[in-house]
Amino acid sequence: MTTTQSLPIIILSGGTGRTAEQLLRATLAQFPDNEVEMIPKTGIRSTDKALKVVREASSMGAVICHSLVDPKIRQAVQSEVRRLAVPCIDVLGPSLALVGDHLHRQPRGRAGLLYELHRDQLDRMAAMDFTLAHDDGKRISELKKADVVLVGASRTSKSVTCFYLAFRGIRAANVPLIPNHPLPTELLRLNSRRVIGLTMNAAHLEYIRQNRLDRMSNRPVPHYANLRDIQAELREIRSVMLEHHWECLDVSYKATEEVADRVVEMLPRRRGRKPSQL
């Protein structure tokens, strides 16, 4: 009978750490039911900071998985992990040495080049992962990491709009607003300009909700698809948006692409960036 063991693994990188993280995830897939804590230490571009991470790993009994490319930092880390007997995986070292030998050239030793070459693709991937993890109020404690948070009543196109935004590299989260339920503290702490409310014509929302009920169950759900209840719900949610100065966008009869485009138009003037930078 095998038992699981908890293992902290520090991802040490001068860039984003994605290279080491992807390799580590591929490795961990071969060890099901593992208890591993991945601890990112990224953007490390000085010897002092790198050595500090090694000492932290030593004190907590962690393994280091690094993708450092700066020769000076790499050498310092290699010496320190040997001195402290810290288990260490150099994910790029063998590849750099082999390719360099055959090309008769030295690597550039500059962190973040892969990200620079594939910035748009990697940003989209990261945004999509973020949106999947923060859909429908999940991981509410991490809302502050979002570029934009969409709020509104159930079935007002929040999730699908977030995924369109994620495809454009925008980290979008969404939180449902439920009448007579307190708002999450994490949502209220956000700058109001980062929160956008979605609303809809009550009759159209009734139609959408009733169709959903018909597909899912024959049992009635009180208040969910009743026109008068929906009207009251939308009025209450609208007052909440006004109270907290959240700009509201009516998505009635609009294509998802159109809604996403409108949200993108809102973001530059809110966050001081040009549309091409989003």
Low-confidence ranges of the chain (pLDDT < 70): 1-5, 109-119, 217-219, 268-278
The predicted pLDDT at position 99 comes to: 80
At 43-66, the pLDDT tens digits run: 999 999 999 999 999 999 999 999
The predicted pLDDT at position 125 comes to: 83
The predicted pLDDT at position 121 comes to: 74
The predicted pLDDT at position 72 comes to: 92
The predicted pLDDT at position 212 comes to: 85
The predicted pLDDT at position 274 comes to: 40
Distance in angstroms (rounded) separating the CA atoms of residues 64 and 56? 10
The set of long-range contacts for 249-257, using a CB threshold of 8 Å and a minimum separation of 24, is 249/196, 249/197, 249/198, 249/199, 250/199, 250/200, 250/201, 251/156, 251/157, 251/161, 251/198, 251/199, 251/200, 252/200, 252/201, 252/204, 253/201, 253/204, 256/157, 256/160, 256/161, 256/164, 257/164
| CATH topology match: 6-117 vs 119-277 | yes
Distance in angstroms (rounded) separating the CA atoms of residues 264 and 258? 10
CATH topology of domain 119-277: Rossmann fold (3.40.50)
The predicted pLDDT at position 270 comes to: 42
pTM for the whole structure: 0.62
The predicted pLDDT at position 218 comes to: 66
What are the sequence ranges of the domains in the chain? 6-117, 119-277
CATH number of the structural domain 6-117:
3.40.50.2300
